[in-house]
Amino acid sequence: MFNFMKLEIITMFKKTLIAASVAATASFAAVGSTVSTTPATLGVEYAVGIQQVTAADVTITPERDYDSGDIITLEVTGATVATMTAAATPAPIVPTVTGVGNLLDNIEFLEYSGNKIKLLVTNPVAFGAGTAVTVSGVQLITTAAADEGEVKMSAVGTVATVEGPKTVDSSTAVTAITYAQQLDTSVSTAFDAVIDVNTARKEFVGGGTADTLVISNTEAAVSTGVTTTGATYKVWGDFSFLDADGDGELGGADDGAVTSTAGTATVAEDFMSVSVAQAAAFSTGTVGITVTGPADVVIPDQTFTAETKVSYTDPKGGATDLVATTLSESSAGAWTLNGAKAHIPFLPFGSAYSQSVTVSNTSTQTGGVDLVIYVGDDTVEMEGIATVGAEGVTDISAAIRNAVTSAGLSGPLSFDVIINAPENAIVVEALYYAKTDGDRLRTL
């Protein structure tokens, strides 16, 4: 009887311990600390330029007891925790750790571990109202700001148990820094003129030879940003047609021009780009770049790209301005034809060859044919060499041979055939026949 009662008591005692253990485990996992800080908004350009910033003070309020040797960890995402100052002679960074309430004089900085700042509890601490720890002087490396978006901070505790270290008291992450693009540029009005083949491609549809690109600038408000000192706008395209007198530079009485509302426009020596240097500070607004072709010169159909670079004072105090690319070789529009163009990459001419070039036109519109022959880096342009009939196939082989002969050219050539008819109604086919071996090859 005695042994049976003893066994029952022991069994009940064990069940009580297990139940208490389960309850303790549930409580152990449920608690969670809180993290608070004063959030800041940094301009991406500032963050990249300054490279390293001091974060606002961070306060961790625990929600459980800690024993001597336990660790409270502050973890950072979105920036790299710096362990050395950015001075000319770097020195170790030791954050200031200030405990209040029951943590007063009972917690200290232990070490950095990657993006974690570990704090050591030096004496047993009971959870209670007003108990918290503030970490000051944390420095963050912000060179990757453009890719991050924001910096977040969170806290977690590590305590010793009979089963080994356990993670406890995890907080929700809070935003410490938001990165915002202070400087931005976009193409608001692209080059979009249509070259009129009815005027031998020397004017745009509607008349005139001018078209304007409009670039929109935006400077957003941020709590900490940069001071701009100027901007450079660059547009890539083929501006060689502006040099009407062929002297290799612009400024002649018959030449075209490029102008801008932001300053003087300078065309590159190879005529493949134009740049505008704006001396005034970058600000919200628009910049116009106008290209005006010369009279009686063929306007090339082409695409354009644009880039904007903004200079700003070095936040670190350096003597040289830093540069932010706010528009990176983006599409800036195109000039197209109100007709069809076919490029024939290879067609040999001379007594050893015969050529066949035909144009199929399914539209009801007849169209004149222009020819652009490529000779090295130069072109020979010939207007009105033939007329393509409506709703049929026209053989323009003889017209092309005559044009090549009149230009004094022979051998293998490449050229464009331009037809004043709807693009989707035109199909050009080209082939040649080698008289010596009977080869017949299609090149388009």
pLDDT tens per residue, range 99-111: 999 999 999 999 9
Write the CB contacts of 409 (distance below 8 Å, at least 6 apart in sequence): 349, 373, 375, 380
pLDDT tens profile 357-366: 999 999 999 9
Closest CA to 58 of 91, 93, 98, 111: 98
Token pair for 77: 């995402």
Distance CA 80, CA 82 (A): 6
Would you say residue 25 has pLDDT above 70? no
Range in 28-42, 195-209, 379-393 with the lowest mean pLDDT: 28-42
pLDDT at res. 436: 87
pLDDT of 31 > 80? The answer is no
Split at pLDDT 50, 70, 90, the class of 11 is very low
Q: What number is the average pLDDT over the span 80-88?
A: 95
Give the pLDDT confidence score for residue 268 in this predicted structure. 98
pLDDT of residue 18: 36
Q: Of 360, 363, 376, give the one whose Cα is nearest residue 430.
A: 360
The string of pLDDT tens digits covering residues 119-170 is 999 999 998 889 999 999 999 999 999 888 999 999 999 999 989 999 999 9
Per residue in 271-300, pLDDT (tens digit) is 999 999 999 999 999 999 999 999 999 999
Domains of the chain, by residue range, sit at 31-180, 185-337, 340-442
Region of residue 228 (left: phi > 0; alpha: psi -120 to 50; beta: else): beta
Say yes or no: do domains 31-180 and 185-337 share a fold.
Answer: yes
- Say yes or no to pLDDT of 55 above 70: yes
Instruction: Give yes or no for residue 29 having a pLDDT over 60.
Output: no
pTM flag (> 0.85): no
For residue range 175-201, what is the model confidence (pLDDT) as tens digits? 999 999 999 999 999 999 999 988 889
The CATH class that applies to domain 340-442 reads: mainly beta
Q: How confident is the model at residue 388 (pLDDT cuts 50, 70, 90)?
A: very high
Mean pLDDT value across the chain: 91
Who wins on pLDDT, 423 or 74?
74
- Sign of the alpha-carbon dihedral angle for 252, 254, 255, 259: positive
205-212: average pLDDT: 97
**What is the second-level CATH architecture of the domain 185-337?**
Sandwich (2.60)
Burial call 281-301: b when 16+ CB within 10 Å, e when fewer:
ebeeeebebbbebbeebbbbb
Q: What is the CATH number of domain 31-180?
A: 2.60.40
Report the percentage of the chain scoring pLDDT > 90. 85
- Comparing CA positions, the residue from 99, 96, 60 lying closest to residue 76 is 60
Q: Is the per-residue pLDDT at 332 higher than 50?
A: yes
Beta strands 58-61 and 34-37, pairing class: antiparallel
pLDDT, position 20 = 38
- Chain-centroid distance of CA 189 in Å reads 19
What's the confidence (pLDDT) of residue 28? 43
Minimal CA–CA distance to 199: which of 340, 48, 337, 292?
337
Instruction: Kindly tell me if the per-residue pLDDT of 1 is higher than 80.
Output: no
CB-based contacts of 115, cutoff 8 Å, min separation 6: 75, 76, 77, 80, 81
